[in-house]
Chain A
Amino acid sequence: QYPAGGSSTNPFL
């Protein structure tokens, strides 16, 4: 599940 909005913890996004 991708977080809807907010800061991503994924350094590639």
Chain B
Amino acid sequence: IDTPWVVKPEEKMKFDSIFDSLGPVGGMLSGDKVKPVLLNSKLPVDILGRVWELSDLDRDGMLDKDEFSVAMYLVYRALEGEPVPMSLPPPLVPPSKR
């Protein structure tokens, strides 16, 4: 399915700069680096747990740049009052992981 990624280029740039500021190792951020950033959103931990489940597409306990963008996208939408989906809609899957 060739749908554009819902993360817009300008959002991706913002998320990428946050990603870089967190000190990725080998292009990945571990859970203990991402966790405080997500907790900072003040969203309930069960919501953040679901955000992580949906973002860590390869379930390696780390987020790469695209996975981190998915996490941030979901957090920002949740802060705007949109529910976090139970499974990742295809337009939210990064093009690099389809």
A interface list, Cβ under 8 A from B: 2-3, 9-13
A11 B31 Cβ-Cβ under 8 A: yes
Interface SS of B by simple majority: helix
Q: Can you list 15 contacts pairing A with B, beta carbon distance less than 8 Å?
A: A2-B53, A3-B59, A9-B56, A9-B60, A9-B61, A10-B31, A11-B31, A11-B32, A11-B35, A11-B52, A12-B35, A12-B38, A12-B45, A12-B46, A12-B52
Distance of A9 Cα from B29 Cα, bound (Å) = 13
B49 touches A12 (CB 8 A): yes
Query: Is B34's CB under 8 angstroms from A11's CB?
Result: yes
- Of B32, B46, B52, B56, the most chain A CB neighbours within 10 A belong to B52
